[in-house]
Amino acid sequence: MKKEDCFFLGKIVSKYSFKGELLIKLDTDEPHLYEDLDAMFVDLRNNLVPFFVESSQLHKSDLLRVRFEDVNTEEDAEALLKSDIYLPLNLLPKLEGNKFYYHEIIGFTVTDVNFGHVGIVSGVNDSTSQALFEIDQDGTEILIPMNDAFIVSVNKAEKTLVLNTPEGLIDLYLDTN
């Protein structure tokens, strides 16, 4: 399994018991969807390694307490600490309407109702307090806040995104000389 075929579910943050149990901090708004998984992929030295889940349960809302098969000691668990956890993309719940996962919109054509053609979504920057669309317009990067009020429509079939941004926002990125 390759990382590009998976989505990031969370990170192993601590050991839970001396029997090899671990706590995974989930990166999701709906942790209950991932309580009964049979297996998950652990990123070990940039390789996704499948681990079968013996038992799991939610622990304090966004933590998942997991016991993997063949991880039976504190030392086994210690070796997995700080590892990222991934699941195959087909396990993501389907989103309706204008909702989307960040990986889905890469390559979408962006149009603004006032500005016209903006460019192609090249990425999403979610390292800031507000996620940003990274849009490539012929080599110029345009950053637009990912704000529900700006999103008019998302058409997954046609790979298009229509925005209604504040006047002048897009012009800030373009050389007007």
pTM for the predicted model, two decimal places: 0.71
- Tens digit of each residue's pLDDT (9 = 90 or more) over 47-79: 999 999 999 999 877 799 999 999 999 999 999
- Tens digit of each residue's pLDDT (9 = 90 or more) over 115-141: 999 999 999 998 888 999 999 999 999
Q: Domain residue spans in the chain?
A: 3-90, 102-173
Give the architecture (CATH level 2) of 3-90.
Answer: Beta Barrel (2.40)
For residue 75, the surrounding DSSP H or E stretch is: helix 74-78
> What is the CATH topology of the domain spanning 102-173?
SH3 type barrels. (2.30.30)
85: nearest Cα among 47, 41, 50, 120 = 41
C-beta of residue 105 within 8 angstroms of C-beta of residue 154: yes
Q: d(Cα 13, Cα 102) in Å, to the nearest integer?
A: 24
User: Which token pair is 69?
Assistant: 């098969």
Q: d(Cα 38, Cα 120) in Å, to the nearest integer?
A: 37
Q: What is the mean pLDDT of the segment spanning 80-91?
A: 94
| pLDDT class of 94 with cuts at 50, 70, 90 | confident
Q: Is 176's pLDDT higher than 70? A: no
